[in-house]
Amino acid sequence: MKNILFLVLFIILNSLGLAQQKPINIYYEKSNDGFDFFASNKEQVPYTVKINFQQLENLSSDSGEKSFIRTIPAQSSSVKVLEMRRIKEEKGTSFDFNFLFTIGDASLIVDENYPYLLPYKHGKRVRVGQGNNGAGTHKGINAIDFNLEVGDSIYAARAGLVTEVKQDSDIGGNAPKYEPYGNFIKVYHDDGTLGSYVHLVKNGSLVKKGDQITEGQLIGISGNTGWSSGPHLHFMVTQNRDFQNFTLPIKFLNYEDELFIPIESKSYYAFHPGKPDFEVEDEFQEAAFEGKMEPSSLKGKIEFDTKEYGDYVLIYVDNGMNAEMNGVLKLQLKNLISTKNLPYKFTVPPRTRMYLLALSPDDNASSFGYQLSGEFK
């Protein structure tokens, strides 16, 4: 019975060891006059390590320090990172150390004006649901939430190497407990920054770890997994400095070849250089919509519907009845302005879809929303 218990414990311990393998290994070898320390990096990107000696007896480095930062090249082995030499020949030696590691080369200079591409289809216009330091989940964080729908395509905002992919989850919800379930793609850039594309659908990654991707490449499918109040793509770029993770206020390229930082509640066309020209909607002019009517697509019922036009939400009434209908549109608004006085009374002819009014953001730095109801007779 004891042998069986021992065997089970041995298997469990080995399984845990395999699950906790690290990308970086630091080890040492005895030399003629001290110890040499080496590092191995099994990953395809460089890592930065910090070696700390808590206890050091009769040993010293050339600098005399007890803490050392080194960059370990990608896919390298037995890289000598440190020499510790005996101080007095007649005395014994002892030491105790640990180490931290983080992805990237800390010596690289971040390109603060790199022209990132908007990470959705060329020519597609998408609203920003939450911007840098947003009042929702972005407090103290530089990140952009693009209001993509489930199933929308995700394109690489910058070239790089895929370092990590998670795509096994179909769980999501509007609470912190769902954060571990968010699917994502992480991409290492050549200036040491790391781009993260988050909330993908299950099996929604079209790339795998180790893939070298190009700017504008189709890489994934948007979803609603993890800590999410609704379908969107969370995009964020980080840099590790002094073994701390910092989010960066990156800049994107627009179709006028200008750099900009997206603003919450505004919408933007994705422009991917080298792709065909696309039509850009004119600025919203309500007069162009007033009085326009079209045949109803409904039968025997009447309802409201909406359409996004740039930064505006257009509200229509669709009368599928065979009689003229009078109605009242009621709206509860959060940080939105209506182009008409509310509640709004209207008359819609039979079998007709008709424009009513538009809503525009009141404060580009705040979240917004509306609740719609109506009465008909």
88: number of Cβ within 10 Å: 8
| pTM for this model (two decimals) | 0.77
User: Tens digits of per-residue pLDDT, 111-128?
Assistant: 999 999 999 999 999 989
Cis check for the bond before 350: say yes or no (omega within 30 of 0).
no
Strand, helix or coil for residue 24: strand
DSSP conformation letters of 142-201:
--EEE-PPTT-EEE-SS-EEEEEEE-----EESSGGGGGG-EEEEEE-TTS-EEEEEEEE
5-9, 60-64, 174-178: which is most confident: 174-178
Report the pLDDT value the prediction gives residue 135, as an integer from 0 to 100: 77
User: Tens digits of per-residue pLDDT, 5-44?
Assistant: 333 333 333 333 333 468 999 999 999 999 999 999 999 9
Report the pLDDT value the prediction gives residue 86, as an integer from 0 to 100: 93
**Contact (Cβ atoms closer than 8 angstroms) between residue 351 and residue 295:** yes
**Contact (Cβ atoms closer than 8 angstroms) between residue 125 and residue 312:** no
Helical H segments across the chain, by residue range: 2-19
Report the pLDDT value the prediction gives residue 21, as an integer from 0 to 100: 66
For the chain, how many residues are written? 377
Report the pLDDT value the prediction gives residue 73, as an integer from 0 to 100: 95
Burial of 258 (0-12, 13-18, 19+ CB in 10 A): exposed
Residue type present at position 224: N
Reported as a pLDDT band with limits 50, 70 and 90, residue 363 is low
Burial of 5 (0-12, 13-18, 19+ CB in 10 A): exposed
Residues 272, 273, 275: CA angle, nearest 5 degrees: 75
Provide mean pLDDT across the span 273-279.
94
115, containing H or E segment = strand 115-116
Provide mean pLDDT across the span 91-96.
92
Rg (CA), the chain: 29
Which domains does the chain carry? Answer: 23-103 (2.60.40), 115-269 (2.70.70.10), 286-376 (2.60.40)
User: Tens digits of per-residue pLDDT, 343-355?
Assistant: 999 999 999 999 9
Q: CA–CA separation, 315 vs 102, rounded Å?
A: 50
Which residue has better confidence, 248 or 284?
248
* pLDDT(253) > 80: yes
Mean pLDDT, all residues of the chain: 90
Residues 194, 199, 205: CA angle, nearest 5 degrees: 75
> Which of 326, 234, 265, 278 lies closest to 127, judged by CA?
265
Q: CA–CA separation, 364 vs 361, rounded Å?
A: 6
